[in-house]
Every structure is written in structure tokens, then in C-alpha cells.
Chains A and B, each alone.
Chain A
Amino acid sequence: MKLKTFTGGIHPPDNKQWSSHKAIEDCPLPAEFVVPMAQHIGAPAVASVEVGQSVSKGQEIGSAKGFVSVPVHAPTSGEVVAVESRPHPWGTSLPAVVIKPDGEDCWSTDLQPGDPGSLTVDEIVEKVRLAGVVGMGGAAFPAHVKMSPPPEKKISTLIFNGVECEPYLTADHRMMLEEPERILQGVALLQYVFGAERVVIGIEANKPDAIALLEKECAGAPVEILSLQVKYPQGAEKQLIAAVTGREVPSGGLPMDIGVAVHNISTAAAVADAVLFGRPLIERVCTVTGPAIREPKNLRIRIGTPLSHLVEVCGGLTEDPGKIVLGGPMMGFTQLDFDVPATRGTSGLLLLRDEDVDRQEEGPCIRCSRCVQACPMHLLPTTIAAYSRRDLLAEASEYCAMDCIECGCCSYVCPATIPLVQAIRYGKAAILAKKRSS
């Protein structure tokens, strides 16, 4: 049978063999946690603790500001040793609460398990919000916002993203293999919240063990396990929806406009923790991998763990890295050093060597059309990038620059090594800025 997919896309080597067979390990506590207040799309949280105060595990240390915002919690019990700006993975210094663990790691007593049978939809959504749950696939969009669509947008299809199409990353794969119950509890809760008729878990066909296991676990349940063609970016929201439903999210629209909601499988597990056990999102699974790390691992890390600690736990570096990437190689962002902490969106820490980093010099576009064939949004990347670079913003947006999902397929295939995504990203930002100022 031909596996479902979208049109366009690329086939980079998946490089998952480094860590796909490694069971998730609990990462030991570091000497110090740096918990950033800004970890999600939307207004950052505001620190609600003071230096010297002792906190317990799961206690709120930053409160949400506004609807598209979530609170932040202590990753362990200990003492607040600083509330100040610290280097942040986004590239600047941002407010953070620094906690010195006391080693007890004891949970806050405020946390109450819930009984899903007696909770209303609104109560579930509120519990998810209070637990600080955000999309864990990388975008880190607050989950409760996605869970409260306007009443006229009826969600008929609920899709769970277990695709994990970024090369190197295996955190979601291991989650599906090792914690299917938590995931399926979350799936059931979200199905209840949305009242969706069709529930699908989409998984790339390169994880046959996860597909088989979830199929077994879901036998009899109204949940479809759909194995999808191995292709990047199969896990991008719009491409996943196209593969599963055959429908395209309208340009400028949202999945809910066509009655679809997508959640990551790890987000589902976090929802289950929040609702059933009252546990806030203070940890996640992160793949530490790449050719420059001694021992690649899938680690369960607390939010706020400094990257240097992760490197240490994985046996250190084999050589000076050529690039430090947070997230996957296609969409992750680079870091200058290991002094920043992991956040809720940190799905991976990838250490590339010099030789893994392409440093060819950029040449002129030879119009080979590879970027056009690869673009999953069916754009003309070469044209948009050329317009963006010359600040011809009207032309760039006329060629649908704003529809670019920044997946990087075009840059990956370009033989002239033109930084297409970078140019388009710049163009998009300039178009937005112009719109705002006018």
C-alpha cells in the first residue's frame, strides 16, 4: 500500500540510529537550575518568588500574564538563589529564576490529582493551563489556547503528531515505546475536550515498533494509528493534516478552520499528567545526540537544566563541536555555548562536528528548480528569497512569502547553497513590521 503523505519535501538521512535504541534515562539533577520565564509563544511569565525563598517541586514560580501565556514551575525543591536575567536560548539575556536544589526533590502538597469522570471541559482546560502545558513538538504554543477554539469552529478530526520527522531526534519515538499509557490517557482526555469524531495518531513508517505497539494498545479504542511516508517535513502541522485528511489548511488560516486540531504525542502525555495527577510541566524527554557527543542518549530532563550538564551526563564531547543546535538540524537554532538552559520546547540537543556543517560558498542561482520541487508549501523559494534580499517586500508577499513555514527544505537542496530560508525569514519579518507600522 502506498503510504499517505503530502507533495514536496525531502529525504535527508535520518541519523536516528545513534539514539533510537536507547531507553529514556532520568537525567540527574544539576547543581543549579536556570528556569526562564519566557519559554512559550505569547507573553512571558512573571517571576513570583524572591531570592532566599525555598520552593518545592512543582510550585509555581512564575505567573502567567494574559490568555496566551502559562505559568512556570519549580523543577525540584530547593532555594531560590537568584531572580535575574540570564542567557537564554533565544540569543539574549531574559528573566529567569535560579534554583539551587536541596536534593530532596519533594513535590509541592498543593498538587491534587483529578478525577476525569467528574471534570467539565472547562475544568480540564484550566488544569492544563495551570500546569503550564505547551506544545512540545518545538513551537511551544500554550496548549490551553489550542484547546479552547471558538464555539463555531467544531473540531471533527483530532490528530496526534508522532511523526518526529527531524533527523537525529528520537525523544517522541521513545515516548511512544515506553509510555504509551500516558500518551493514550492524554489522547482520551483531548478527545473528550474536543468531542472529535475521528482521532488519528500519525507516525512515520520508520518507527515500525512504535506503530505496532500503539496499534496493540489501541485495539478496540476509537483511535486510528496511521503510518505515514518517511519524508521531511511530514510532522509539520499543515503537511500532517494534508496527509491524514487530504485537506489543505487555507493560506493564512488555522487548522480549526477546516475542523482539525493537532497535538504532539508528548503534549498529550503532559495533558494527562496535568489533569490526572495535577502535575505541572517540569520535565520532558530530550534527545542528546550527534557525532560530536560521546554517548548519545534520550534523557528525561527537568526544565531549566543547563546544557553543559546534559553534555556531561552524556559522557562529554568527542571534539570541539562545529555547531550546537537546540532542536533538530532542519529547524533547530544554534547556540554559542552550553551556558543556556533547556526549556519546555527543547526536543533535542544536537552536536555537529565541523565536517558535518556545510561551509560551501554561496553561488548564483542556477534556476535548477530543486527548491521549487522540494517546497511543501508549493512556493517559489528562489523568487521569494531574491525579492526579500532586495527589500522588494510587496513582490515577496505577492509570491506568498507569508505562507513559508521555514521548514528549510529549499536551503537543504540548493546546490548553489543560497541561504534561502534565512532570506525568506528576513522578508517575512520585514513584511510584518511594515504591516504593523502602517
Chain B
Amino acid sequence: MSKQLYLSSSPHIHSGDSTSKVMRAVLYSLLPACAVAVYFFGPAALTVLLIATLGCLATEVVCQRLMGQPVTIADGSAAITGVLLALNLPPSSPWWLTLLGAVIAIAIGKQVYGGLGSNPFNPALVARVVLLISFPVQMTTWSSPTPFGSGLDLVTTATPLGEWKNAVMLTGQMPPELQSGMADYFLGNMAGCIGEVSALALLLGAGYLFYKRILTWHIPATFVGTVVLFSSVFWLVNPDKYPNPLFHLLTGGLVLGAFYMATDMVTTPVSTKGMLFFGVGCGVLTVLIRLFGGYPEGVSFAILLMNAATPLIDRYSRPKTFGTSRQGVRS
């Protein structure tokens, strides 16, 4: 034999999966949501998407160059952060706000911790929350959707969740018409962040990720399930003041949050038990913040808080090692 062989440790075959394949699949799964956003919000949404994505890629390159590390934008993770950030911004975001968000997401949300795999918080959410706190006006200026061909300009309006919150604060009562537009909410015909409006498009993408076995049911199911159950309790007690669970489900960023933000692998627990706990925690916090917090929307804060708890959850949700249950009998 002419060639030098190497000794290597088993196993000698591999599934062929790679980080960049995983990331690429996530990007594909976000395409329907992006398409719907562009359909409803037109060039404004496209601009936000482009600036956020290119901004994240550029920031990653700059950070890695400055730190003398190999540039790894080809792994796709920065692009995902960019798209997710865009989907978490209002369609009317000015260009500088979007760009600032991209820089914050990558530089502060990710690279300061050492890059991919080391960041404790979902980078896109870090950026969103920083922007929300620093620029509350720009971050809560919503446009009503103007589907292509309707010839309308973007008009400033409130999100369904925001409307409800204002009404309850002013009158202690919920406007009844709010709960009648469920089909529109489901399809995306409502005001909100670029990516939160269409549950349908998001679920389509999530279906693809399930099929690819990149997403498991644990976090999304427990997150959504907990929101539905927990919000039902309040609704049953006082249906005049608290919106019904379906309203919680379809408005605001719950679907986007539960399927794409809370499932960010890097910032969530690794064990099954831990994921279940994580999902329930996100659900409880979301409802509490929505109903009693200062912001109409609670998904981002809930996820970030649970991100912070992830190391703790990991520590206490270790799977039971094979052969350690009582008397060797499987429990």
C-alpha cells in the first residue's frame, strides 16, 4: 500500500450530520415565516430581514477577526441569529435600530462568551430585549399589515396583546371584538413583530424541523401547553378581564418563541427532563408577565429568564444512569 494510514478511535462511521447542516435546516424552516412577513409588510420587512442578517454576519466576521479566530460564518449560526432577530422586530424598525440589534446580538449576545456553543442567552433575544428597553418608542410602533396589492401604506396601530393590555389598564375590561379575529391571527393578518404574525407559517417550518428530527416536542409542547392551561385558569375566573387561551396562543410571539426561540439548542437544557422543565417554566413566566407585568408581551423575557436557569436545570435534571435504579429493576 502506497498510502499512510492513521490509527483512530472507534466509531469509524458517522451519521454524516454536521452543525452547518443542522443550521441550514433551521434557516430553511424560517423561509415561510419570512415570506409571509414580506407579503404582509412589504419592502419594510424585507429591509429589516436583510439588514439584520447581513449585520449579524458582518459583526461575526469583525469580532472573529479582532480576536484572531477563524471566521466561522459558514456554519450558519450567525445567519440564523440575524433572521430570528428580524422576525422579532417591528416591521417599521428604522435601519439603525436593526443594525444596532444585529451588533448587540452577535457581539454581546454571543462572541463575548466565546462564540457558538458558549453563550448562555439566546443572542437574538438579548438584542431584542436591549432594544425594547432602550428604544421603547421605536420598538412598540406597530404597523397594520397591508397585503401586497392592497395599495395601502403602513399604518401605525397596536398589537392585539397591546390593545388588550391598554384596555384592561384603562377600563379594567377587555374589548370583546379583540377575541373575534382568531382566523386572521392564525394566518398572520394582525399587527406585531415581523415573524410573530403568522402562526401558520411558523408551524409549517416547525413541521419541517420535526420531520428532520432537529426539533423535539419537549420544549414547544410544554411551553404552549403550559400557557394554554395556565391562562385558562385566569380566563375561567374572570373572562371579562383575561383573554381566552386561544388569544394567548395566536397573538404575540408565543408560537415564534416556543418553536424557534425557546428551542435554541445552545441555551436550553440537554436532558429530556430538563427540557420539559424548561418549557413549563417558560410557559408560566410568559403568562405571569403578560397578565401582571409591565409589558404586554412576555415571551422574550420568559425565555431569557429560563436561559439563565439552564445551568441549574441541567445540574438537577441529569438522566438516571443505567443500572442505578433500585435493585437493578427498571423503574
A residues apposed to B, CB below 8 Å: 10, 12, 91, 167, 238, 242, 246-253, 257-258, 320-325, 329-337, 350, 352, 356-358, 360, 363-370, 372-373, 376-380, 382-383, 399-400, 403, 406, 408, 411-413, 415-417, 419, 421-422, 425
Contacts and interface: CB of A to CB of B under 8 A. Distances in A.
A380 B271 contact: yes
Contacts of A382: 270
Nearest to A168: B13
Contact of B265 (A357, A366, A417, A421): A366
Interface in B231-288: 265-272, 275
Interface size grouping (class) on chain B:
35 or more
Contacts of A330: 10-13
B18 interface: yes
B96 interface: no
Contacts of A364: 115-118
Given A246-B330, A380-B271, A251 B323 contact: yes
Given A336-B7, A366-B117, A411-B14, A248 B268 contact: no
B114 to A, nearest CB: 8
Residue from the set A238, A416, A425 with the largest chain B CB neighbour count within 10 Å: A416
A373 B265 CA distance: 13
B21 interface: yes
Q: Which 4 A-B pairs have the closest CB atoms?
A: A408-B11, A364-B117, A358-B14, A422-B9
Nearest to B327: A250
Contacts of B75: 363
Residue from the set B1, B8, B323 with the largest chain A CB neighbour count within 10 Å: B323
B270 A332 contact: no
A338 to B, nearest CB: 8
A408 B10 contact: yes
A356 B117 contact: no
Q: Is the interface of A mostly helix, strand, loop or mixed?
A: loop
B3 A320 contact: yes
B142 to A, nearest CB: 34
B266 A378 contact: no
B328 interface: yes
B266 A320 contact: no
Residue from the set B7, B75, B328 with the largest chain A CB neighbour count within 10 Å: B328
Contacts of A372: 270-272, 319
Given A320-B3, A378-B322, A325 B12 contact: yes
B152 interface: no
Contacts of B268: 367
Interface string B297-321: 0000000000000000000001111
B5 interface: yes
A412 B18 contact: no
A415 B22 contact: yes
B15 interface: yes
Contact of B321 (A334, A400, A412): A400
21 contacts: A167-B13, A246-B329, A247-B330, A249-B328, A253-B323, A320-B1, A330-B13, A331-B11, A333-B7, A335-B5, A364-B116, A364-B117, A366-B19, A366-B22, A373-B272, A376-B322, A378-B322, A380-B271, A415-B17, A415-B21, A417-B14
A86 B16 CA distance: 37
B5 A406 contact: no
Nearest to B118: A364
A314 to B, nearest CB: 16
A337 B271 contact: no
B171 interface: no
Interface in B7-38: 7-19, 21-22
Contacts of B2: 320
Contact of B10 (A333, A377, A400, A417): A333
B270 to A, nearest CB: 4
B324 interface: yes
A337 B265 contact: no
Contact of B13 (A321, A329, A379): A329
